[in-house]
């Protein structure tokens, strides 16, 4: 038996060693790309050399020779920096990594992990060592900025000040997030973004660094014709009140994620901007976007006051925007955006092909737009009126729940459970102000037994 195994192992080894180098390179490339992505739980400063080409190069001399001459294997990497970073060895390894990549496009992830006490810095001295190390890492990468194809950056805010993104016309995917806050952060992003952007090949964009205005968001979408996925955090203000917006038709965008916050940046404070309400700026921004092939829309209204679409004109603009995207829009997530039943109904009527819906509605009983009448309209197979969003399979709902204590919600779920498999409600996540009724809780257990995923939560339990 042992002799047979040795013979098989020997034959396998000889066959493998006879493979052409380009075949081995292709195999190695699949492995390296699968292990070079961001690792959220990594805390030590390192390039993931233990699972990259360095690890493979220790297997045998032939593998080592192939790996050291295959620049593509060194073009993807992740760098993690914290306060214990061994700066010289880390920088030496990164310089060697970049050199071995040759002229291949670079795909990398930079992650700064601040000490727990410095997550929100109040002192310029906090996190100094790691900041200096990250600055040095960027200085090594910046001369090769024309080779950046995929860059995901999680940086301390101090690093953004000297950071300038020029000559990035080859960039395909770009993500940047700032850790910590200071008065300098107010002006850094505008110094980072070039004018014009020059992002003709960009397909994925995530900017969570601030401050962005809605003008900046519009420019990012307008100047990136191949943009497929876009996630932006913006202060809900337009410096020109949307006066210079012209409607654009963007046929590549499939996913749009907007996080809208209060305007706190001094660079945005000017008399003209202050004349425009946040809701007007938001309405003008949406009115200028025609996204006919949008598949997923996520809008979080994170302002503490103001109703984004309270005015009838703003509500009309929002519903028209949804209608322009209705043909392909299957997933929608709206937070604190709808406070009126008529508005909510009009939005749902505009999205007949919706399959996944996540609504975070006000927890106040006076602002909760979910009523018994709306629930009846969601019942499948109702001969009295057309069913709203008939293809819905996933529902995440956060509201006060004043209308959910009766039989209405149970009737909706029961009717949807009886639909065909392609239109059957499969996931229900309900979060209300008070606990669910005993009847609803008991029925939820039956739904789970029938194969449905159900979660019921309430605010009272969180505050207990």
Strand blocks (E) in 321-452: 331-335, 356-360, 394-398, 427-432
Omega before 196 within 30 of 0, i.e. cis: yes
Query: Is it the case that residue 192 has pLDDT exceeding 80?
Result: no
Which of 131-145, 161-175, 305-319, 407-421 is modeled with the greatest confidence?
131-145
- What whole-number distance in Å separates Cα of residue 31 and Cα of residue 51? 9
Query: Which residue, 101, 109, 106, 5, is CA-closest to 47?
Result: 109
pLDDT tier, 251 (very low <50, low <70, confident <90, very high otherwise): very high
134 by Cβ neighbours in 10 Å (0-12 / 13-18 / 19+) ranks as buried
> For residue range 261-299, what is the model confidence (pLDDT) as tens digits?
876 654 444 433 434 577 888 888 999 999 999 999 999
pLDDT tier, 166 (very low <50, low <70, confident <90, very high otherwise): low
Omega before 211 within 30 of 0, i.e. cis: yes
Residue 221's pLDDT is: 92
Residue 162's pLDDT is: 53
Residue 45's pLDDT is: 47
The two three-digit tokens of residue 214, written as one number:
């809605």
The two three-digit tokens of residue 235, written as one number:
């202060």
Which residues have C-beta within 8 Å of that of residue 44, sequence separation ≥ 6? Answer: 80, 82, 84
Residue 387's pLDDT is: 85
Residue 210's pLDDT is: 65
**Strand, helix or coil at 194?**
coil
Beta bridge partners of 107: 76, 150
| Cα separations in angstroms, 20 against 15, 63, 102, 115, 251 | 11, 11, 21, 47, 43
The single-letter DSSP state of residue 72 is G
CB 54 within 8 A of CB 98: no
Residue 51's pLDDT is: 54
pLDDT tier, 165 (very low <50, low <70, confident <90, very high otherwise): low
Percent of the chain with pLDDT over 70: 73
Which residues have C-beta within 8 Å of that of residue 46, sequence separation ≥ 6? Answer: 79, 80, 90
Query: Is it the case that residue 108 has pLDDT exceeding 60?
Result: yes
Strand blocks (E) in 199-330: 204-208, 229-235, 248-249, 255-261, 289-290, 296-301
Q: Where are the domains of the chain?
A: 355-464
CB 420 within 8 A of CB 391: no
Q: Give the pairing type, strands 204-208 and 173-179.
A: parallel
Residue 172's pLDDT is: 92
Which of 255-264, 344-353, 419-428 is modeled with the greatest confidence?
344-353
Average pLDDT along the chain: 79
Least confidently predicted of 57-61, 121-125, 227-231, 442-446: 121-125
Residue 214's pLDDT is: 85
Residue 13's pLDDT is: 43
Percent of the chain with pLDDT over 90: 26
pLDDT tier, 169 (very low <50, low <70, confident <90, very high otherwise): confident
Residue 253's pLDDT is: 97
Which residues have C-beta within 8 Å of that of residue 42, sequence separation ≥ 6? Answer: 48, 78, 80, 111, 113
- Return the higher-pLDDT residue of 234 and 120: 234
Query: Is it the case that residue 52 has pLDDT exceeding 80?
Result: no
- What whole-number distance in Å separates Cα of residue 97 and Cα of residue 77? 8
Query: Is it the case that residue 304 has pLDDT exceeding 90?
Result: no
CB 432 within 8 A of CB 404: yes
Query: Is it the case that residue 382 has pLDDT exceeding 80?
Result: no
pLDDT tier, 39 (very low <50, low <70, confident <90, very high otherwise): low
Q: What is the mean pLDDT of residues 89-108?
A: 88
- What whole-number distance in Å separates Cα of residue 398 and Cα of residue 336? 10
The single-letter DSSP state of residue 390 is T
Residue 308's pLDDT is: 65
- What whole-number distance in Å separates Cα of residue 169 and Cα of residue 73? 23
436 by Cβ neighbours in 10 Å (0-12 / 13-18 / 19+) ranks as buried
- Return the higher-pLDDT residue of 322 and 275: 322
143 by Cβ neighbours in 10 Å (0-12 / 13-18 / 19+) ranks as exposed
């Amino acid at each position: 038996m042992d002799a047979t195994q040795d013979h098989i192992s020997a034959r396998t080894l000889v066959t493998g060693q006879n493979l052409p180098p380009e075949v081995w390179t292709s195999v190695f490339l699949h492995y390296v790309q699968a292990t070079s992505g961001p690792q959220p739980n990594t805390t030590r400063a390192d390039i993931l050399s233990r699972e990259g080409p360095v690890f493979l190069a220790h297997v045998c001399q032939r593998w080592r020779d192939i790996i050291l001459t295959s620049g593509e294997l060194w073009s993807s990497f992740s760098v993690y920096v914290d306060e214990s970073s061994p700066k010289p060895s880390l920088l030496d390894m990164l310089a060697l990594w970049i050199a071995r990549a040759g002229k291949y496009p670079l795909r990398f992830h930079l992650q700064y992990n601040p000490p727990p006490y410095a997550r929100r810095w109040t002192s310029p001295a906090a996190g100094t060592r790691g900041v200096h190390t990250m600055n040095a890492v960027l200085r090594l990468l910046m001369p090769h900025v024309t080779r950046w194809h995929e860059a995901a950056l999680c940086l301390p805010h101090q690093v953004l000040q000297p950071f300038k993104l020029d000559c990035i016309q080859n960039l395909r995917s770009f993500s940047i997030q700032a850790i910590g806050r200071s008065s300098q952060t107010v002006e850094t992003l505008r110094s980072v973004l070039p004018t014009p952007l020059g992002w003709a090949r960009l397909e994925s964009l995530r900017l969570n660094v601030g401050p962005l205005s809605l003008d900046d968001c519009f420019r990012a979408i307008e100047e990136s014709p191949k943009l497929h996925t876009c996630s932006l955090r913006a202060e809900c203000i337009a410096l020109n009140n949307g006066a210079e917006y012209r409607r654009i038709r963007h046929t590549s965008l499939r996913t749009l994620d907007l996080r809208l916050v209060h305007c706190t940046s001094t660079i945005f404070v000017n008399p003209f901007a202050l004349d425009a309400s946040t809701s007007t700026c938001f309405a003008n921004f949406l009115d200028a976007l025609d996204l006919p092939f949008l598949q997923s829309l996520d809008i979080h209204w994170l302002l503490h006051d103001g109703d984004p679409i309270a005015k009838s004109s703003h509500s009309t603009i929002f519903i028209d925007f949804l209608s322009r995207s209705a043909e392909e829009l299957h997933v929608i997530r709206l937070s604190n955006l709808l406070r009126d039943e008529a508005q909510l109904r009009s939005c749902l009527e505009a999205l007949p092909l919706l399959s996944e819906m996540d609504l975070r509605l006000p927890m106040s009983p006076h602002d909760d737009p979910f009523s018994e009448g709306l629930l009846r309209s969601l019942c499948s197979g109702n001969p009295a009126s057309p069913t709203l969003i008939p293809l819905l399979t996933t529902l995440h709902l956060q509201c006060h729940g004043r209308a959910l204590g009766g039989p209405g919600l149970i009737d909706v779920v029961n009717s949807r459970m009886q639909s065909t498999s392609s239109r059957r409600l499969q996931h229900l996540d309900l979060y209300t102000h008070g606990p669910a009724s005993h009847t609803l809780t008991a029925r939820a257990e039956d739904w789970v037994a029938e194969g449905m995923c159900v979660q019921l939560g309430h605010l009272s339990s969180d505050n207990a």
